Structure 1
Amino acid sequence: MTRLYITRHGQTEWNVEGRLQGQKDSKLTELGESQAIWLGESLKDVEIDIIISSSSGRAMKTAELIRGNRDIEIMSNDNLREIHLGEWEGQLHLEIEKHSPDEQKNFWNFPHLYKIKDGETFQQVFDRVTNEIERVLLDFQGKNILVVTHAVVLKSLITYFENKEIKDLWSGKFMNSTCLNIVEIKNDSRKFVLQGDTSHYPTEEGLYSNNNC
C-alpha cells in the first residue's frame, strides 16, 4: 500500500495581511513555524520515506520544520507550486474586490468560470498537479510519501481523488495551515482516511483559518 500524507504550508506574513501569494512568496510567521513543528511532532512515529515539497519558500521551510532532525530527503517540485494568479499576486483581497469583483467572485464561488489575464485557471492547476502526483505515485509505489503544498493544489488533489468536478473544488473541509490529509492507495483504490485534520494544534490559538492562496 502507498500512503500519501498531504499538507499545506504554515501560516505566512501575507496570510495575516490578507494578501494573495500565488507563486510569489512570503515568510512563515512564528505561528506558521510552530504549526509545522507541531505536525512534525505528531508524525514522529510514522515512517516517512520521502518528503516532496512545492519549490516555493514557504512550503520548503514548512517541509524542513516538519522533518526536524530526521534523516528524510526533501525533494523540491515546481509542479506542486500554488496557482499562478497573474497580476493579483501580492495584492490585498480588498484591492482585488475593488478592481475585479466578478473575477474574485468566480474564484471563490464558481472556480470553473474563473479566468484572469496571465494567470492559471483551476483546470490548468488541476491538470498540472494531478499529472505530477501520478508520477510521484509511480516513482514511490509502496512508500509513505509526505507532500507539502498549497491550498488550491490540495483542493485540486482532493477533487481528483474524489472524482469531483472543478465547479465543486472548494466544497468540503477548508484546508487550514499544516492540516493533514491522508490518502491510501492500493491497486485501483484511492481512499481518504483523514482530511483537513488539525488535531496536532495544541490549542485553539493554533487554528488560523484564512482563505489566502
Structure 2
Amino acid sequence: MALTLYFLRHGETTYSQTGGFCGSLDPDLTDEGLQMAIAFGKAYSKLDWKAAYVSPMKRTIATAKPLCDAVGLEMQLRDGLREIEYGEWEGKTQDYVKEHDQETYIHWMTEPAWNAPPGGETAVQIASRSELVIAEIEAKYSDGNVLVVSHKATIRIMLCGLLGIDLGRYRDRIDAPAASISVVEFGKYGPKLKILGDRSFMDEELRSRPGT
C-alpha cells in the first residue's frame, strides 16, 4: 500500500462566504461549516488512518475534530500548514484592496509566487514551510493514509509543488472549495493526483453554499 495524503480544506467560515482576506485571522466555522466537517468525519471514518497533521487555527482544528474523535487520532499541529499571511490586507475585501492598493494587488494577482501582500507571504514562502511538513510525513510513513487539514491557498500551493505545477499559477490550476478533499498517492513515479476538490460526501444543500 502506498503512502496516500488526504488534503482537507477547513469548512465554511464567514470569510469563505464573503471572499474577504483571511489568513492569520482566526474565525470559527459557521454552523454549516461544522456540518461539513461532521459529514467528512462520517464518510471517512472507515479508512485506516495513520496520522492527522493539522494547521493550528480554530477553523482547521474544528474541521479535523469529528474524524479524529471518531477514529481516535491525535492531531499533530504544524505551523507550516497555516494559511497565507495577508499582512495589511487581513480582513479586507478584494474590492477594497483593488481600490486602495491597486498596483500591489495587480502584481500579486499576476505573479503571486514572488509578490506578496504588504507584510504578507509569497507562494514560494508558503511552499517552503509547507513542504517541510510533507517531508516529515514522507520520512515517518512509507505507506498508509495520512490526513492533512489546511487552508485554501496553502493546499493549492502544496498540490502545485507535488505535481510540478508553476507555483504562480496555483489559483488558475487548482480549486479547493470549503471542506473539499484532494487525494495524492505516492507511487513508483512520484506523487499522483487521485481526487481533486471533492465534496460528494456532503449533502446537496451544503455543496450549494455560496462563496465557498
Q: TM-score, normalised by structure 1?
A: 0.90
Segments of 5+ residues of structure 2 without an aligned counterpart are: none
Alignment of 1:59-138 (within 5 A): 59-138=60-139
1:172 Cα offset (Å): 2.9
Count of residues paired in the alignment: 211
Task: State the Cα deviation string for residues 60-100 of structure 1 (Å, max 9, x = none).
Answer: 11110233432111111111100111111122222212211
> Partner letter of residue 169 of structure 1?
Y
Counterpart for residue 191 of structure 1: 192
Counterpart for residue 53 of structure 1: 54
SS at the partner of 1:3? strand
Check 1:197–1:203 CA distance in 2 against 1; reply closer, same or farther (3 A cut).
Answer: same
1:188 Cα offset (Å): 4.6
SS at the partner of 2:71? coil
1:198 Cα offset (Å): 1.1
2-structure distance, mates of 1:102, 1:207: 34
SS at the partner of 1:63? helix
1:112 Cα offset (Å): 3.1
Counterpart for residue 145 of structure 1: 146
Counterpart for residue 23 of structure 2: 22
Counterpart for residue 174 of structure 1: 175
1:189 Cα offset (Å): 1.9
SS at the partner of 2:70? coil
Q: Which has the higher helix share?
A: 2
Query: Does the aligned pair in 2 maintain the 1:52–1:75 contact within 8 Å?
Result: yes
Q: Which moved more, 1:99-108 or 1:169-178?
A: 99-108
Identity of aligned residues (%): 24
Query: Does the aligned pair in 2 maintain the 1:37–1:68 contact within 8 Å?
Result: no
Q: RMSD of the alignment, in Å?
A: 1.9
1-structure distance, mates of 2:30, 2:84: 21
Check 1:106–1:33 CA distance in 2 against 1; reply closer, same or farther (3 A cut).
Answer: farther
Q: TM-score, normalised by structure 2?
A: 0.91
Segments of 5+ residues of structure 1 without an aligned counterpart are: none
Q: Which moved more, 1:200-209 or 1:125-134?
A: 200-209
Check 1:80–1:35 CA distance in 2 against 1; reply closer, same or farther (3 A cut).
Answer: same
